[in-house]
Amino acid sequence: EIVMTQSPATLSVSPGERATLSCRASETVSANLAWYQQRPGQAPRLLIYGASTRATGIPARFSGSGSATEFTLTISSLQSEDFAVYYCQQYDNWPEYTFGQGTKLEIK
């Protein structure tokens, strides 16, 4: 099983500032990495796939980067609706997908 480790567990950032979330894979997943956002009481929403491609309708302030085992999700200027939990997911080891444990992005 490929283990996905996200850091930090909680990130406190002020609105308007930049947030950087990290995700590490226990072995290479190439660029087969997705990011999801989950707001309280809502279903997860796909933000990024292929490590760096924004999903349909996702604002340009969200960007993904990285490959192999190290990945980053950057939110350039935080809006109030961006405070949520973020998960990374690898789909290289098809079909045994695994998720990170999540990073909670909270208002500072």
Partner 1 sequence: EVQLVESGGGLIQPGGSLRLSCAASGFTATRNYMTWVRLAPGRGLEWVASLYVDDTSYYTASVKGRFTISRDTAKNTVYLQMNSLRLEDTALYYCARELDGSLIDWGQGTLVTVAS
One DSSP character per residue, 28-52 reads --TT-EEEEEE-TTS--EEEEETTT
Does 68 contact partner 1 by CB under 8 A? no
Q: Which stretch binds partner 1 (CB under 8 A): 19-27, 61-69, 73-81, 94-102?
A: 94-102
Shortest reach from residue 75's CB to partner 1, in Å:
19
Binding site for partner 1 (CB under 8 A): 32, 34, 36, 42-46, 49-50, 55, 87, 89, 91-92, 94-102
